[in-house]
Structure 1
Amino acid sequence: MIMLLLKFLCGFNCICFGGVTKVMCIVVCVSKLRVPLGTLPPSWWMVYLLLLVFAALPVVICDNLALLSGTLRTFQRAGCDDEVVTLRCPHGTSISVQVAQYGKSAPSKAVCPQHSSTPGQQELPPNVTCLWPNALQTVVEACQKKRQCKFQTSPKTFGGDPCPGVRKYVEVAYKCRPYEFRSKVACENDVVPLKCNPNSRIAVYSASYGRTEYESIQCPQPQGVPEETCLVSYATETVMNICHGKRRCTLSADPATFGNPCKPESRMYLKVVYTCGENVNSATVVVTMVTVVMVIVIVVNVVMVVVVVITVMAVGLASVDTATAYIANIRF
């Protein structure tokens, strides 16, 4: 609605990608109005300031909701030899590399095909895969726990060439881990509450249900039952459907909610990693910003009164009305 009003007033759209650029666009738009800003009455100044406030409001809300949407998603990036690969996460999160491989799999002629003009290049034989074993370690060292990173795809970057003469590529899967996160564990048939303060909402990073051999201290197996690794593949999705974006929720760590991936005698458990992302209440932000605008308008009017009084005293004009008319004809 605001953008349509600006288009009607100025003749062009202020559809910009960032908050700063959008505000600058609006400044340019308003400066193109036929009425010079220096002659605008206080009511027009209020409209001008409100346009700036409400145009920037969606950007503020979207920036805060980026944490809620970005923490759950698994991002994928790929790049051929001699290309630069960029990994990036939203504000408040950092890169957590899940999978990385460098080389080439057959058949993959459609992915990073050979350059016919490059001498010495050859196609990978059918049913042959060449992957460099240290690719994950290389990407982790370059990007782990950073908000963004870049690296060039080449044998030099990865410290070796799994198949010389073949044009290779890198594939990376990563998630965006919150800087500050919480972890909750609930043993089978227990109930675990997740909650955030009134101005925050739950952003689920990951969830697992079942058992792992290396992480079972809080929920040990019954006596005589051997350890096993057995996890459902949809635990994160299930927790997201119940809790993601809410202020509080309750999870039941039971087969009715998550299924039964383990042997009947095993004791399963639920582990949830989440953070509390800042939530912006649109109504509160609007009221606050309108209040600020009203204060600015009042201050502007007070300043104008002071200027009139000073002008009367300095110029020696006959009346306040004459001083006001005198000021209105000044061009700054």
Structure 2
Amino acid sequence: MIFSDGTLSAVSFALLLGITCLCDLSKGSPDFSGYLSKVLRNYTEQACDGDFLSVRCPPRTTITVQSAFYGRRGASDPQQCPHTYQALLSPYSTREDDRYCSVSTALQKMLDECQDRRSCQVLVNSRVFGTDQCPGSSKYLIVWYKCRPKCQSSVALQVLTSRCQGKKSCLVRASTRDFGDPCYAGTRKYLSVIYTC
């Protein structure tokens, strides 16, 4: 509860959301529009069997995996990877690469490896993704992702707890001096607190 004199009453905190950022484009730095365009776009990365797939987001953002596909979409797929050496030796390689196959664990694997990180690298290989639905066929991994801003103070809970825990009321000013500046230059910030009495 916030009293009319601007103080905050709190006996204990149930949850602190921390400092979250609101973007103010009119007061941002010249680099902010470039940063914002990178954050708002959709990314796609692809790698063939045996290669590493690298996913990376700009500073102060983290990966949000939207979808993933590991397998083969058939001969008509324009994103086909070249036949593997093993597949070239197989008399059925052409027929095998014409069929559709996918692994259902691709999305979960990419979430486990990359979600909420700034960058990650995954070996594209059927052993990594589980059961091989089309042995002998060359397969590939495609990942669709976004870069989500990561802009929260890591000390907000500590600061509020030390100033307000066990008191009938407390006054806390939301400032970068007290909470640091985890956001991109020119980003307006606010403090949000959830508490119980």
Q: Under TM normalisation by the shorter chain, which class is it? A: 0.5 to 0.7
Aligned to 1:111: 80
1:138-194 deviations in Å (ceiling 9; x for gaps): 01100000000001100111122121110000000000011138xxxxxxxxxxxxx
Query: Would you tell me which structure has more strand in proportion to its own residues?
Result: 2
Matched, 1:133 2:101: no
| AA at the equivalent of 1:68 | L
Runs of 4 or more, structure 1, over 6 Å off, are none
1:79 offset after TM fit, Å? Answer: 0.5
Residue 77 of structure 1: aligned partner: 45
Letter in 2 for 1:112: C
1:49-60 equivalences under 5 Å are: none
- The residue aligned with 1:123 is 94
User: Based on CA coordinates, which of the two structures has the bigger radius of gyration?
Assistant: 1
Partner of 1:67: 35
1:78·1:170 contact (CA, 8 Å) conserved in 2? yes
Alignment partner, residue 179 of structure 1? 150
1:100 to 47, 55, 68: 68
Is 2:126 aligned against 1:155? yes
Give distance in 2, aligned partners of 1:96 and 1:123.
Answer: 36
1:9-58 Cα offsets, whole Å, 9 max, x none, are: xxxxxxxxxxxxxxxxxxxxxxxxxxxxxxxxxxxxxxxxxxxxxxxxxx
Distance 1:97 1:162 in 2: 23
What RMSD, in angstroms, separates the aligned Cα atoms of the two structures? Answer: 2.7
Match of 1:278 in 2: 185
CA distance in 1, matches of 2:78, 2:33: 40
1:128 to 1:69, Cα distance in 2 relative to 1, 3 A: same
Cα separation, partners in 2 of 1:172 and 1:94, compared to 1, 3 Å:
same
SS in 2 for 1:123: helix
Aligned-residue offset at 1:278 = 2.8
Distance verdict in 2 for CA 1:78–1:110, change over 3 Å: closer
Identify if the C-alpha distance between structure 1 residues 123 and 109 changes in structure 2 by more than 3 Å, giving closer, same or farther: farther
Question: Is the 8 Å Cα contact of residues 67 and 91 (structure 1) preserved in structure 2?
Answer: no
Question: Contact conserved, 1:67 with 1:92, CA < 8 A, in 2?
Answer: no
Pairwise CA distance, 1:122: 1.4
Higher relative contact order (CA 8 A, sep 6+): 2
Paired residues in the alignment total 126
Instruction: Evaluate the alpha carbon distance shift between residue 166 and residue 139 of structure 1 in structure 2; reply closer, same or farther with a 3 A threshold.
Output: same
The code of the aligned residue for 2:50 comes to D
Q: Which amino acid is the alignment partner of residue 92 of structure 1? A: R
Q: Distance in 2 between matches of 1:110 and 1:71?
A: 25
In 1, the alpha carbon distance for the partners of 2:77 and 2:95 equals 9
TM-score by length of 2: 0.56
More helix by share: 1
8 Å CA contact retained: 2:96, 2:137: no
Distance 1:277 1:69 in 2: 14
For residues 44 and 79 of structure 2, the distance between their equivalents in structure 1, rounded to whole angstroms, comes to 18
Instruction: Percent identity, please.
Output: 33
CA contact (8 A) 2:62 2:147 kept: yes
